[in-house]
Amino acid sequence: MFSFDIEPLAQARPRIAPRPYPHIYDPNNVKKYKEELHSLAVQKMKESGLKLFDGALFIKISFYRPIQKSVSKKEHARRSIGHVLPVKKPDLDNYIKSTLDALNGAIWTDDAIIVDMFTRKRYSEQPRIDVEVLEIG
């Protein structure tokens, strides 16, 4: 299992630039997030001595987002222990998209080899992303 000490960031809608030629690009904060997560993953793979996964995979991803500073102490405690779940935006699928894109070429060759997935989002005092990769077959 890999744990990345980075605050999860959801994939935002792509931007379109008309000049110098029409092209689509990620917003700067998403681009920076993907680059940072990719670098962290490459480093973890080197440290663990693993090669890129290239066969069918089952992955588990847990996104731990920060608890808002504006909530009361009582509400903060409820979120810390999991009694209140993050049912607000950003959507889980947008977290998944940005993270899978970032981990391409770092943990696995391409996210097309992921055939099964379990994901969740939770609140935490320590924002992070936990990724478990299991080869199938």
* Entry pTM: 0.89
Question: With contact defined as beta carbons under 8 Å apart, do 77 and 124 qualify?
Answer: no
Q: Is the pLDDT of residue 61 over 90?
A: yes
Q: Tell me the pairing of strands 114-124 and 57-66.
A: parallel
The domain of 62 spans 2-135
Specify the number of domains making up the chain. Answer: 1
pLDDT tens by residue, 75-99: 999 999 889 999 989 999 999 999 9
CATH number at 43 reads 3.30.1330.70
pLDDT tens by residue, 17-27: 778 888 777 78
CA 79 to chain centre: 20
pLDDT tens by residue, 102-129: 999 999 999 999 999 999 999 999 999 9
Average pLDDT across the chain, whole number: 93
